[in-house]
Structure 1
Amino acid sequence: MKKPNMSVHETDIHDIHLQFLKIVDEQLAGLFRSAFKGHGYELAEIRKYAPGDEIRMIDWNVTARTGDLYIRQNLEDKELSVFILVDASASGLVHSLESSKQSVITKLATLLTMLCVRNRDQVSIIKFTDEIEGYLPPSKTASQSIKAINLLYKEATHSKKTSIKTALQQLISLEKKNALVFLLSDFMDSNYQEELELVSELHDLICLQVSDPLDEALPNVGLIEMNAIESGTSGIINTSNRKLLKKINASLREQQGKLHRMLLDVNCEHLKLNANDDAVISLKHFFSQRKKGRNHVGA
């Protein structure tokens, strides 16, 4: 698939929509439905057996407790309520691979939005840096996909910094419960565990972490200039200095370890993928694992 340009003209919106729609319909739609089947279902009722009811619908547990025949009414399909939180901060632009973290995050958010629309579920997007850069209220109309592409690809951000806490607080303020929440980020941030715990308690929370090799280890390549895009600071680091490089890489590994432990603590699902991984294949694997009930961190 042609990689959509992050700087998108109005005439490109329709082309991007068609590109993603083909992927969704041919590769992901069925897996998405099966992975979350039951999340949006509710029991219509349990009632006494009446002549003409099918024997297979009898609820034998209730019947045994009451002594009367009761049937379990068919499950009613209830639409999902889905929120997609999209990290658009500048740390996502730093990359050592062909694809940036930000391009993968944007692609994942677009695919998830279109999957929800195809499944006729209410879907909302919160695009954030250290402020709320854009918000799409819940909708299941076909136009929501176009609005999402416009927000994700076309609308520029005002800030370069990151605050996952800000996005989570925005979601909490909506006073919704029992939604499906996707948090898409490189998680290069801190001080948001309390909000993450609350969201995990209120919703079915799935954290999709997109990483770059530089997030976990710097290579030994001599003198390199390091630019902290979010803060605007820069400096020269001698990666040939083994002691210094070991210290830096130990710190990076510690940060990833802390993140892993925190996600375990808040009991959310966690999918980690490399910026060069195929986003579609990663989602297919995750949906398949979810369907099998393997809802563990690091799936």
Structure 2
Amino acid sequence: MIPREVFRKIRRIQIRTSHKVDELLAGNWHSAFKGRGIEFEEVRPYQVGDDVRTIDWNVTARSDQPYVKLFREERELAVSLLVDLSASQDLGTTTQTKRELVAELGAILAMSAIKNNDKVGLTLFTDDVEKNIPARKGSRHVLRLIRELLCCEPVGVGTNLRRVLEHLNRTAKRRTVVFLISDFQDSDYESALKAARRRHDIIPVIIADPREAEMPNVGLVRLHDAETGQVVTLDTGSRKNRQLYAKLYAEQVVTRDSLFRRLRLDPIHLQTGCDLVDPLRKYFHQRENRQ
């Protein structure tokens, strides 16, 4: 039985995101994501004009006459949401935290998949895989995913992208559209991401807060790293300190973005306090045009 307050949270996010699904994604979901491609359906006798590359040589050898393979396009998608619930997702210096933004995004993507008769699954992770929900269809399944996005209390606090990608590579048996949703405050995940990229359609979704890129001038502050527990006192009134803070963040961004370029991955950039509509519309439109 879902507690009443949790149910109210689920209903609020369901109502808030449903019109965005109808407006943005449902109409061009399958034009942006083409599915697995084609799968074998049957064989039939060879006819003049058939492509000789489709000849089934095993059947031909057994029957003493040429047969060709017939294929059909598989439209149904498998969609997987890999969602970072590390402690850094609790940051929010605008109207919402990064985790609240992630929950809204996850609801939109899950509802879009279900409305297009696709399966959708969810993997929540920190420095380990916290919960894995296999891909299924149906509105009740989506409500369960939204509940987990809103209410899951992770055990870990850090971020380990390599571990969740290795879990994906072990468990996903078919080609999957993977939304990797994180602030990407991690390193040493390139090999796992490269392996996942070979098998799946990987879409990095970068979640950020404005204060991560720029430190305001507010005097002496105590900063607590939610993932490592380290506490430092920083004089934000120092221009040198603010510039160093911005430089370290910029270096992290350059490293991350250069990795995505090498692997030919096109990320979606989302920021707390900003509407999801424009970046999602732009991204799906660009994918549709590239198909």
Q: Give me the TM-score of the superposition, normalised by structure 2.
A: 0.83
SS of residue paired to 1:214: helix
- Per the alignment, do residues 46 and 290 of structure 1 end up closer, same or farther by CA in structure 2, a change over 3 Å counting? farther
Q: What's the CA shift string for 1:136-158, capped at 9, x where partnerless?
A: 11112222101101111122222
Give 5+ residue unaligned stretches, structure 1: 1-6, 51-57, 67-71, 295-299
Match of 1:222 among 216, 219, 223: 219
- Per the alignment, do residues 13 and 246 of structure 1 end up closer, same or farther by CA in structure 2, a change over 3 Å counting? closer
* Contact 2:121/2:133, CA 8 A, preserved across alignment: yes
Match of 2:190 among 185, 193, 196: 193
Q: How far is the alpha carbon of 1:74 from its aligned partner?
A: 8.9
1:84 aligns with 2:81: yes
Q: What's the CA shift string for 1:94-142, capped at 9, x where partnerless?
A: 1322222221112111111111111111211001111222211111222
SS of residue paired to 1:292: helix
Match of 2:151 in 1: 154
1:279 aligns with 2:265: no
Match of 2:22 in 1: 25
Q: How far is the alpha carbon of 1:260 from its aligned partner?
A: 0.6
Q: What's the CA shift string for 1:240-284, capped at 9, x where partnerless?
A: 222233222211111111011111122222111222221133212
What amino acid is aligned across from residue 187 of structure 1 in structure 2? Answer: F
1:127 aligns with 2:132: no
SS of residue paired to 2:27: helix
What amino acid is aligned across from residue 207 of structure 1 in structure 2? Answer: P
| Cα root mean square deviation, aligned | 2.9
1:106 aligns with 2:86: no
* Contact 2:36/2:175, CA 8 A, preserved across alignment: no
> How many residues align structurally?
275
With 116-125 and 221-230 compared, the bigger mean Cα shift is at 221-230
The runs of 4+ residues in structure 1 deviating greater than 4 Å are 43-50, 72-75
- Per the alignment, do residues 225 and 120 of structure 1 end up closer, same or farther by CA in structure 2, a change over 3 Å counting? same
* Contact 1:117/1:123, CA 8 A, preserved across alignment: yes
SS of residue paired to 2:96: coil
* Contact 2:100/2:150, CA 8 A, preserved across alignment: no
Give 5+ residue unaligned stretches, structure 2: 56-68
1:290 aligns with 2:270: no
* Contact 1:127/1:133, CA 8 A, preserved across alignment: yes
Match of 2:259 in 1: 262
Q: Give me the TM-score of the superposition, normalised by structure 1.
A: 0.81
- Per the alignment, do residues 194 and 74 of structure 1 end up closer, same or farther by CA in structure 2, a change over 3 Å counting? closer
Q: Distance in 1 between matches of 2:209 and 2:287?
A: 25
SS of residue paired to 1:30: coil
